[in-house]
Every structure is written in C-alpha cells, then in structure tokens.
Amino acid sequence: MYATVRPARPVHPVLLVVAHGSRDPRHAATVHALVREVRARRPELRVETGFLDFNAPSVPRVLESLEADGVREVVALPLLLTRAFHAKADIPAVLREAGARLPRLRIRQAEVLGPSPLLLDALERRLYEAGLTPADKSSTGVVLASAGSSDPEAIAVIAEIAREWRHTGWCAVRPAFASASLPRTEDAVAELRALGVRQVAVAPYVLAPGFLPDRIARGAETAGADVLAQALGPAPEVARLVVQRYTEVRRVHRLAVSA
C-alpha cells in the first residue's frame, strides 16, 4: 500500500528589509525593532534584514545565505522614505549584482515607504507621544524635518507631504532639511514664530536616530521649538506600511513559491 504524497505547500517569498546602515548604534537597533514589529504582524513570513553600509549583515551576504537555504523568491524592500539616490541607484545596483551571481534567486525590489497616509499617521503618533493632543492642532505649527537630499524629486515630495498634512487641521506645516537643501529646521521654526504661531512642534521625517536626526534635534532646540517628536522607528503604522509594500509586489507579480 502506497502512502499518499502531498505536494509541498507554497511558502511566501522572503521579505528582505534593506536599510542604509550607520555608525550610530541606535540606527541598527531601531531597524531591528521595526523588523520585529513586522514579524509580529506577519508571523508566517520570513523577514530578514540587510544593510548597505556600516552594519552587518550586508545585503549580498543575506542574499547568498537565502539562496543556500533553498529560497527562490525574495522581495527586497528599501527602508527609505523617499525615492532618492539610494532607491534609484545604490540598491538596484546591489540587487542586480547579487542576482547575476545567484541565478537561482529571483529578486524583486519593492517601492520605498513614502509617501503614504500611514506615515502621516505615524508622524502624528510621535507628536502626541511628545505631549501634543488632537485639540492642539489648530494652534500648532509643525516643521516636517527630513534628512534632506540633492534629488529634486525627493525634495518635491517632502514639500507636497507638508502641504497635504496642513489640510488635516494643523495651523501650518513647513518642510525643513538637515542637509543638501534649505530651509534648516531652526529657520522653519523661526518662520512659524514670525507668523505668530502660538506653538511650534518639530516632527522628524526620519526612520531612525543618527547624525542627521541629531542635527534636526539641535536645530529644534536652538530655535526654541515647544515640542520635538522622536523618529518614526518601529511605529505600528510603519510596520503596517512595510507589509503593505511587500504585498503590493506579491500582487503585481503573483509571487508564491516553494522553498
């Protein structure tokens, strides 16, 4: 009598979260905290983390390990808030090179996280955690402080997010940049003060602490901002957005393979 052989149940493509990396240990710790939040939301997924620079494991090393484990489909998700140089050049180059060396591994790159209404929700969460309440919105001006970029598309996106966020009830919202572009955080805070805004809050549009987020914080302190929010980090809305971007790739490419 022959035993019934059941076909292997398809498993989900691996989600590879691709972070930039930093010499600041808070960066990697925050990335790992976010990944834990993603795993908690989707325990059936295998979620790995790779870094472009400064931290281990590197993206190529993670991909090599996945292929050795028999994985055949990977969704690589850039842990970035805008489509700038890293999303357009660095990450695609790393993934292409790895794909050429690992022909059995099919790698799909997901879109960056922003812009998304979920990120606005995460920004508001951090502002409320810093002491504001929804009742403060009409009397509070917000500085949307990003790391900055030399990419005009990324700068335009930040400006558009500020305009969109203003329509949710805040007294005013101004973009600011820690590098590459102007205005700086302290200048945006001063502008809101000059307009007569009663209370000014700074909302860092960054995922993790580090050199540029620290510059944002110093600018907020120097200009006398009333409220400074923390980095978005492992906010539930960010974890939900990571899963959403992964799901979008699966839907487009109909990915479901056996490993």
pLDDT for 110-132, tens place per residue? 999 999 999 999 999 999 999 99
CB atoms within 10 A of CB 248: 13
Q: Domain limits of the chain? A: 14-113+236-253, 131-228
Does the domain spanning 14-113+236-253 belong to CATH 3.40.50.1370? no
pLDDT at 237: 98
The predicted model gives 151-178 an average pLDDT of: 97
Q: Could you tell me how far CA 78 lies from the centroid of its own chain?
A: 8
The yes-or-no answer to whether 14-113+236-253 and 131-228 have a common fold is yes
Place of tokens 């307009």: 195
**pLDDT over 90, % of the chain:** 91
- The 10s digit of each residue's pLDDT in 70-102 is 999 999 999 999 998 889 999 999 999 999 999
The model's confidence at residue 4, banded by pLDDT at 50, 70 and 90, is very low
Nearest to 18 by CA among 95, 96, 104: 95
- Backbone phi, psi, residue 78, to 5°: -70, 125
Average pLDDT of the chain is 94
As a whole number of angstroms, the distance between CA 62 and CA 48 comes to 8
- Which token pair is 198? 């009663």
H helix or E strand, kind and range, residue 156? helix 152-166
Q: Give the chain's length.
A: 259
**pLDDT over 70, % of the chain:** 94
Q: Are 11 and 259 in contact (CB under 8 A)?
A: yes
- Which token pair is 125? 């969460």
Nearest to 26 by CA among 204, 214, 202: 214
CB atoms within 10 A of CB 221: 14
SS3 50: strand
Nearest to 186 by CA among 169, 174, 198, 170: 174
SS3 79: coil
As a whole number of angstroms, the distance between CA 225 and CA 242 comes to 31
pLDDT at 64: 98
CATH class of the region 131-228: alpha beta
Strands (E), 162-222: 172-177, 199-205
> What's the whole-model pTM score?
0.93
pLDDT at 256: 53
